[in-house]
Amino acid sequence: PLTKGTCAVHARACTHFAPSGLRRALPGFPRRKYRRHTSHTPSWVACAWGDPVDFHAASIASSSECAKGLTEVEVDAPTDIVDGFCASGQYVQMKVNPEDEKVAYLAIASAPASSPLKFVIKPGDNTAGEICALNAGDSVQISAAMGKGFQPEESAKT
């Protein structure tokens, strides 16, 4: 519960609260000792998952429907992007325009370190749909391969 009182830090009225879980667990615990102070200054918080992603220019090699509702897109990517693709299960981020903020996260369907990179995409009303609508020679922005991927288990020898 919130309590109002004079704050020893600011020497003015502040809002403090006690951890309600402690208060319920220990009916006689000293509330003032465990109160936390809240700031009166508004602040902005920015959250991020990790480092900014670097995108590189690439071009569409081909785009065709490979099954009902699925499009196979082949991308001629820079050599360093292809060389960074070393395990099945890795993915890239791709977008059509450098200014776009929304990206498509696409699993790489081709064999590691092979060129061009192949993707099987389900088109929709999103960035993936925009990529599927591109023709051979159109440009895209692609990130380096991400994720640990996995090593396929060897087949049992008979």
Within a domain: 155: no
Structural domain harbouring 9: 2-37
Within a domain: 68: yes
Q: Is 96 found in the same domain as 26?
A: no
- Name the domain count of the chain: 2
| Positions of E strands within the chain | 2-6, 13-17, 36-37, 55-67, 70-76, 91-95, 104-107, 117-121, 139-143
Within a domain: 154: no
Strand pairing category for 55-67 and 139-143 = antiparallel
Are residues 122 and 128 in contact, defined by beta-carbon separation less than 8 angstroms? yes
13-70 pLDDT tens trace: 554 444 444 444 445 555 555 455 555 555 555 555 667 889 999 999 999 999 999 9
Q: Is 100 found in the same domain as 30?
A: no
4-14 pLDDT tens trace: 555 555 555 55
Flag whether the pTM goes above 0.85.
Answer: no
CA dihedral 81, 83, 88, 92 (to 10 degrees): -10
Q: Is 64 found in the same domain as 25?
A: no
Q: Is 104 found in the same domain as 73?
A: yes
